[in-house]
Structure 1
Amino acid sequence: MPACPEGADAVILEALKRLDVQVTLGEANEKYLSGQSTQIPAFTQIKTPRRFTRQLSVGRSQINA
């Protein structure tokens, strides 16, 4: 498990950034980050383009699994 103070989701986002994959966050995350909601999302939803088919996992966090 890579050591990262922000957690496994930050490691996955950094990996996607290094792979030059454009990602968007889920609706709940966007509302929280923009200040429209004070409810903290239970998990981070990461949306990738359909052509990105790799499976990434860090600990229990997974994408495209």
Structure 2
Amino acid sequence: MSYQAKKSSLRKVKTDAIDAYLLCVLYYNGEPHKIRGIQLLDLRNLSRQQEVITNMYVEAKL
């Protein structure tokens, strides 16, 4: 992921501060070539809700 982003950059000078900033932007924005669909986000939400409900069930049973 970061290797592809580095290749797409036109900057050839090595600067750690700029590299760290670009990695942060890449991390928070996600990969530019991946587009997450609504279905994937809904599935992620449902799995998180299922985990919370399962944990609540286990705590109630104990």
Question: What TM-score does the superposition give when structure 2 sets the normalisation length?
Answer: 0.24
Which is helix-richer, 1 or 2? 2
Question: What TM-score does the superposition give when structure 1 sets the normalisation length?
Answer: 0.23
Which is strand-richer, 1 or 2? 1
